[in-house]
């Protein structure tokens, strides 16, 4: 179709509010998570008069943003949020920041007071673009209806291109009412924002050369592999198979390489496995694929993997050399770079350093022998690790998606559940937002109505957005809330034990609700289990129930999450269990988070 045709056929006069709905349709949006209010009423009126786009009415705008994140991360498509001005927009800020930290594509549409009232402290006026400038990839205040559709299409382009992230379009109410010509998607001005996706062939050749010679290589993968699309995960598996290199992953990258794969070392970082962290520490070639050397991963920078050459594949130039000096920087999209890397590897008939690699694997096998995830089970009280092992065993064959809240349960979920495919694991990594998991599970279930969606939660986090159970019930979304209830802000308690002389300041969950009654009050099923002997049956009951379930799993209250690399310590100073925790964290580590 040529451009002139497009212009004459689809450029139409319409109101700003209708443009919003039209632009969403043209972008292929199927669902919007939102909450109405005065400044978005014209858009809600347009939504009412159509049937292509579904609207999920949330209970709090933060919920809408996390649902959109869950939707986006489990589908690879952008999540769309619609909220009103002032409090609607400020309530959305946490989720927008969460999406920025974890590179999740969101398009957030906010209403604003009419242009002629901006700056007058009007009712429900907030400087939304000012407030969200630091937590969006980009944002726009639209002052003229003639620019609205163009900006909306740009917004989708920016959210999904390069390193994905949240964008926000703030639309004053008079702009929604006024009429102008609609700019179709194909005619929108998106040209100048085009991050490079193809890696430098010279750097790729250099990496191939290093891969041939490396004695102790490791593939350190991250959320970028997931964001790059399913093809990136396929190529990663091909690379791991072609080379036999061990693979570890950050919290955000779980599932890109299968947990059952023979090269899998488990997750790395602060609560990563012994074998993954020691491999990172001792390797001679580290290939970072779509990860960002986060402080949860590196530990003390000066002792991070001291003897390795580091290659880094990333689409964001600011991630390269930000915290760790990279020897072979490869700027590009993971899929494209891995494809070129594999092609170069095959074209050269490359072979790995067999002897070195065999010794390396022998070393890794020895580390694996430590069995760092072993724990002392109990037949009196449910250990959280055991609960997750049972959940894993009983849901293995299901079409399963897992979300989490933030805390010990999140780390245990990452350690004890196995992910075989990308887009199956949704967790708040960068921001660590308690209250993420429940709404995220709803967003995932909206996208995958027939799948099994489980939120592995802590009781404290879960309470932060529990109002969204109303959303689950209203839209018949059978999400399973698996609460590992230790009646503690467990992760805080663990740090207080290790760092603050066991002074447990405010880390109890006091006055907890009766979760079963709470579930019933929402119109869901509630299940309570506190005996290891009943656990399997209780989990099966949860799985069999056709509707949302709140599962109150009462677990050991003082369990600590191991292995642990205390903040400010290097990878090879990992704590494996209780016996090693006395006085290990000095004042220098105490200031770190």
Ligand X SMILES: Cc1ncc(C[n+]2csc(CCOP(=O)(O)OP(=O)(O)O)c2C)c(N)n1
**Where are the alpha helices (H) located in 348-420, listed in sequence order?**
354-368, 384-395, 408-416
Taking each helix axis from N to C end, the angle separating 61-75 and 437-447, rounded to the nearest 10 degrees, works out to: 50
Active site residue 61: yes
Nearest distance in Å: CB 215, other proteins: 6
278, interface contact from ligand X, Mg ion, other proteins, none, CB < 5-8 Å by kind: none
Nearest distance in Å: CB 566, other proteins: 20
User: 156 or 551: whose CB is closer to Mg ion?
Assistant: 551
How many CB atoms are closer than 10 A to CB 236? 27
Q: Which of 14, 19, 27, 61 is catalytic?
A: 61
Nearest distance in Å: CB 382, Mg ion: 13
- The 3-class secondary structure across 153-186, one letter per residue, is HHHHHHHHCCCCCEEEEEEEHHHHHCEEECCCHH
Q: Are 37 and 45 in contact (CB under 8 A)?
A: no
Residue partners of 229: CB distance under 8 A and separation at least 6: 76, 335
**C-alpha span between 149 and 142 (Å, rounded):** 10
Active site residue 491: yes
Active site residue 124: yes
Of the candidates 373, 405, 390, the one whose C-alpha atom is nearest the C-alpha of residue 486 is: 405
Q: Which residue is closest to ligand X by CB?
A: 458
Binding-site member from 45, 303, 392, 573 for other proteins (CB under 8 A): 303
433, interface contact from ligand X, Mg ion, other proteins, none, CB < 5-8 Å by kind: ligand X
Q: Which of 173, 383, 480, 569 is catalytic?
A: 173
β 217-221/425-426 pair status: unpaired
**C-alpha span between 232 and 421 (Å, rounded):** 11
Binding-site member from 46, 61, 98, 284 for other proteins (CB under 8 A): 284
Nearest distance in Å: CB 150, ligand X: 36
460 binds ligand X (CB under 6 A): yes
Size of the site for other proteins (CB under 8 A): 40
User: 308 or 485: whose CB is closer to Mg ion?
Assistant: 485
Beta strands across the sheet bearing 400-404: 425-426, 400-404, 452-458, 480-485, 549-554, 525-529
Q: Which two tokens stand for residue 439?
A: 């709404």
Binding-site member from 111, 422, 432, 563 for ligand X (CB under 6 A): 432
136 binds ligand X (CB under 6 A): no
Stretch near Mg ion under the rule CB under 5 A, chosen from 260-268, 351-359, 453-461, 577-585: 453-461
Active site residue 270: no
Annotate each residue in 198-217 with x if it binds other proteins (CB under 8 A) or - if it does not, as one string: --------x---x--xxx--
307 binds other proteins (CB under 8 A): yes
Torsion sign (Cα): 469, 406, 36, 73? negative
User: 54 or 134: whose CB is closer to other proteins?
Assistant: 134
**C-alpha span between 79 and 160 (Å, rounded):** 10
The CA dihedral of 194, 195, 201, 202, to the nearest 10 degrees, is 130
Stretch near Mg ion under the rule CB under 5 A, chosen from 115-123, 288-296, 457-465, 582-590: 457-465
Residue partners of 176: CB distance under 8 A and separation at least 6: 15, 16, 17, 20, 40, 42, 43, 111, 145
158 binds other proteins (CB under 8 A): yes
Binding-site member from 37, 164, 407, 439 for ligand X (CB under 6 A): 407
User: 265 or 555: whose CB is closer to ligand X?
Assistant: 555
Size of the site for Mg ion (CB under 5 A): 5
User: 54 or 325: whose CB is closer to other proteins?
Assistant: 325
392, interface contact from ligand X, Mg ion, other proteins, none, CB < 5-8 Å by kind: none
Residue located via tokens 């992953």: 249
Q: What is residue 32's three-state secondary structure? A: strand
Stretch near other proteins under the rule CB under 8 A, chosen from 46-54, 104-112, 325-333, 451-459: 325-333
How many CB atoms are closer than 10 A to CB 347? 9
Binding-site member from 34, 458, 526, 532 for Mg ion (CB under 5 A): 458
Residue partners of 242: CB distance under 8 A and separation at least 6: 342, 345, 346
Taking each helix axis from N to C end, the angle separating 408-416 and 490-499, rounded to the nearest 10 degrees, works out to: 100
Size of the site for ligand X (CB under 6 A): 20
403, interface contact from ligand X, Mg ion, other proteins, none, CB < 5-8 Å by kind: none
234 binds other proteins (CB under 8 A): no
Q: Which two tokens stand for residue 566?
A: 């205390």
**Where are the alpha helices (H) located in 285-333, listed in sequence order?**
295-298
Active site residue 77: no
405, interface contact from ligand X, Mg ion, other proteins, none, CB < 5-8 Å by kind: ligand X
User: 130 or 523: whose CB is closer to other proteins?
Assistant: 130
Taking each helix axis from N to C end, the angle separating 535-544 and 384-395, rounded to the nearest 10 degrees, works out to: 50
490 binds Mg ion (CB under 5 A): yes
**C-alpha span between 193 and 462 (Å, rounded):** 39
What are the residue numbers of the active site?
Answer: 61, 123-124, 173, 491
Where along the sequence are the contacts to ligand X (CB under 6 A)?
A: 405-409, 432-435, 458-461, 484, 486, 488-492
Binding site for other proteins (CB under 8 A): 129-130, 133-134, 137-138, 141, 143, 158, 162-163, 192-193, 195, 206, 210, 213-215, 284-285, 302-303, 306-310, 316-318, 320-322, 325-328, 353, 356
């Amino acid at each position: 179709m040529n451009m002139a045709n497009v212009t004459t056929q689809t450029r139409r006069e319409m109101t700003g509010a209708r443009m919003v709905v039209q632009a969403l349709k043209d972008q292929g949006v199927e669902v919007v998570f939102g909450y109405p209010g005065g400044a978005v009423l014209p858009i809600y009126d347009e939504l009412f008069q159509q049937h292509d786009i579904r609207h999920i009415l949330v209970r709090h705008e933060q919920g809408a943003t996390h649902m959109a994140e869950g939707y986006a991360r489990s589908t690879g498509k952008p999540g769309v949020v619609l909220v009103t001005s002032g409090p609607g927009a400020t309530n959305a800020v946490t989720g927008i920041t969460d999406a920025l930290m974890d590179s999740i594509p969101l398009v957030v549409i906010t209403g604003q007071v009419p242009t002629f009232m901006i700056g007058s402290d009007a009712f429900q006026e907030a400087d939304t673009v000012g407030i969200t400038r630091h937590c969006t990839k980009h944002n726009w205040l639209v002052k003229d209806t003639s620019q609205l559709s163009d900006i909306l299409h740009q917004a989708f382009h920016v959210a999904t291109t390069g390193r994905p992230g949240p964008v926000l379009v703030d639309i004053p109410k008079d702009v929604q009412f006024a009429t102008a010509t609609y700019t179709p998607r194909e005619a929108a001005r998106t040209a100048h924002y085009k991050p490079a996706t193809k890696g430098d062939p010279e750097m790729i050749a250099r990496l191939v050369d290093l891969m041939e010679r490396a004695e102790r290589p490791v593939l350190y993968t991250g959320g970028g592999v997931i964001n790059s699309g399913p093809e990136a995960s396929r190529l990663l598996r091909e690379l791991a198979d072609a080379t036999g290199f061990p693979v570890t992953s950050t919290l955000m990258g779980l599932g890109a390489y299968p947990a059952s794969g023979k090269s899998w070392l488990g997750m790395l970082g602060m609560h990563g496995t012994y074998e993954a962290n020691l491999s990172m520490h001792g390797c001679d070639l580290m290939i970072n694929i779509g990860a960002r050397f986060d402080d949860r991963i590196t530990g003390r920078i000066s002792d991070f993997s001291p003897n390795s050459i580091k290659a880094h594949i990333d689409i964001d130039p600011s991630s390269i050399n930000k915290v760790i000096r990279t020897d072979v920087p490869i700027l590009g999209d993971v899929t494209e770079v891995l494809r070129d890397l594999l092609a170069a590897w095959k074209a050269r008939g490359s072979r790995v350093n067999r002897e070195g690699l065999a010794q390396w694997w022998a070393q890794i096998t020895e580390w694996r022998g430590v069995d760092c995830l072993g724990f002392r089970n109990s037949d009196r009280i449910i250990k959280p690790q055991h609960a997750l092992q049972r959940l894993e065993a009983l849901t293995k064959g299901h079409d399963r998606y897992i979300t989490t809240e933030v805390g010990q349960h999140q780390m245990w979920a990452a350690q004890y559940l196995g992910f075989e495919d990308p887009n199956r694991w949704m967790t708040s990594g960068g921001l660590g937002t308690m209250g993420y998991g429940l709404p995220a599970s709803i967003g995932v279930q909206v996208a995958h109505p027939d799948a099994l969606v489980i939120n592995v939660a802590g009781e404290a986090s879960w309470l932060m957005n529990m109002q969204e159970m109303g959303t689950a019930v209203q839209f018949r979304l059978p999400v399973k809330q698996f609460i590992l209830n230790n009646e503690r802000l467990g992760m805080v308690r663990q740090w207080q034990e290790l760092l603050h002389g066991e002074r447990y300041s405010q880390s109890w969950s006091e006055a907890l609700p009766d979760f079963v009654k709470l579930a019933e009050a929402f119109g869901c099923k509630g299940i309570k289990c506190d005996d290891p002997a009943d656990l399997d049956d209780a989990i099966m009951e949860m799985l069999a129930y056709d509707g949302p379930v709140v599962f109150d799993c009462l677990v050991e209250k003082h369990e600590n999450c191991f292995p642990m690399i205390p903040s400010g310590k290097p990878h090879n100073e990992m704590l494996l269990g209780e016996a090693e925790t006395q006085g290990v964290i000095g004042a220098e580590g105490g200031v770190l988070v």
